Structure 1
Amino acid sequence: MSGRFAPYGWSLVLHAVVVALLGVSLHAPAPRPQPAAAQAEAEPIQARAVDEAQVQAEVQRLRDEARRQQQQEEARRQQLRDEAQRAREVRQREEQRAAEVKRRAEEEQRQRAAAEQERKAKEAAEQKRLADLQKAAEEAEKKRIAEEKKARELEARRKQEEEARKKAAAEADLKAKMAEAQRQMEAEAQKRAQERARQNATLVQQYIADIRNKVERNWLRPATARPGMTCTVLVQQLPTGDVVNVRITRGSGDAVFDRSVEIAVHKATPLPPPPVPELWEREIEFIFEAR
């Protein structure tokens, strides 16, 4: 700043000097008439007047110079003001540009922060979704395993029940077959027994008829006997057919007739053997009838 205003300052200094000189010359006392000796000094006074004219001229020149310098200074100041204005405008534009850049940077940072926050939120949501899916998959797997286990248990129980049913059915069928076989065997046995009994009955009847015939052959008819008279005789014998004892269990009403039958049984000893050994009985009971 001191370099810019130095010419203007010097002009002011010169101006001040000139004004001071003028003041001195104007306030100086008017010259008094001088003696001849003093006229000798008039020339210096004239010279001083000439100097004042020069001074005036110099002052005017200095004034013009000062004015010119002032105009130059004013022009330089205006230039400086213009430059300052342009600098302010440039600075304002730079500040606006910087502010815009800062705003954009802040906006981008805000957008990045929002995007980062959104990304983190999405990532957290995705992680939660994956965790939920993993949990759901694990639960589904556990449920599947439990259902498979339950299905296996049910299948095993079904198989056991089926096997038990089959076993029970087989046992029932076996029992039924055994019962049927037993029934058939019993029926066959009963049939055989009936047949044997029928045969035995026939043989027994034949056996008793043989005994009765032999007794009749040894019977001596008493005078009191009439055709058709009967008595029931119980005979006790040995396996050899030998008679041990004879007893009338149901008499004819005629003691002589009954006694004659007892004697005839004793005379018939040994009694005829049965057709088959199985028909032998220790006691034989038959009806004796007079012919």
Structure 2
Amino acid sequence: MPERRYVIAAVLLHLAVALGVLLSNALAPRHVQKPPVIEAVMLDPTFKQQQQQAAEVERQREAEAQQQEREAEQRRQKEAEAEARRRAEADRRQREEEQRQREQEKQERQEEQRRQEQAERERRQAEERERQAEAERKRKAEEQRKAEEERERKAAEQRRKEEEARKQREAEERRKAEEERKRKEAEERRKAEEERKRKEAEERRKREEAERKRQEEEERRRQEAAERRRAMEEQMRAEERQRTLNRWGSGLPSHIERYWRRPPGLSSDGSLEAKLRLIVLPNGEVASVQVIESSGNALFDRSAERAVDAASPLPLPEGETPPREMSIYFQEPR
């Protein structure tokens, strides 16, 4: 809305300026040129020069008059524009003052409405607080009444329970006394029966213990005799197995010797000897071979290892499983 008012004021200002220009043109005196008068007069040169000077002065006066008229016209236009701006500014200020008054009145009405609404809210809040306070008083009174009734009910219930507890205690005491009498009688009978059974069991245990010891002694003697027989048999089998393994092991170097090949460049007097460790599988195959005591000649040591690998699988001892690990001395064949 303020922008629209400014546009209207600008249009009115331009209209006022245009109207002022039209009025000034209409009221300005018009210069009517007179028709020239031709006269034939014989003049001397001095008179002609004076006439030219007079004409020049006249032209200057006319030019000054025209300049003054233009300046007067410009002043009138500026005054008309200033008047139009003044009126437009006055109109704008009047409209702004009216708008301000309307806004102020609107704010006053809104403020009055807010005060009324606030007063209404406060009144309702006061009524609500009063209603809640009344409800709270009633609730507390009801709670107090219920609490009093509950205290009376609990007191009556407590008296009833105490009476029942007293009767129960008396009945329980009579029952316990009767039970204690019966328990003592039963305990005396049980102890007498247990003592009789204990004596019988003790006699039976002694007889069974004696029989058990006799049987254990016989079993111990029998097991000792059987253990001695097993030990003797095991020793005989071990000795026979050792003899078989000794015969088998003593024949291995000659078996390996058949697979030994003299390496080129080996020169010795036939006295080289290396100790080898063999890992032997149950089927006689050699899993690994390693020199554990060197002959002092690396060519001979490696040739001995190659001979063992070539001789695998080794011949098995009759009826025996070869030991998994064994050591042999391999001497240079002559």
Which category of TM-score, normalised to the shorter sequence, fits these structures? 0.3 to 0.5
Which protein is bigger by CA-based radius of gyration? 1
Q: Higher relative contact order by CA 8 Å / sep ≥ 6: 1 or 2? A: 1
**Could you state the TM-score of these two structures normalised by the residue count of structure 2?**
0.34
**Could you state the TM-score of these two structures normalised by the residue count of structure 1?**
0.39
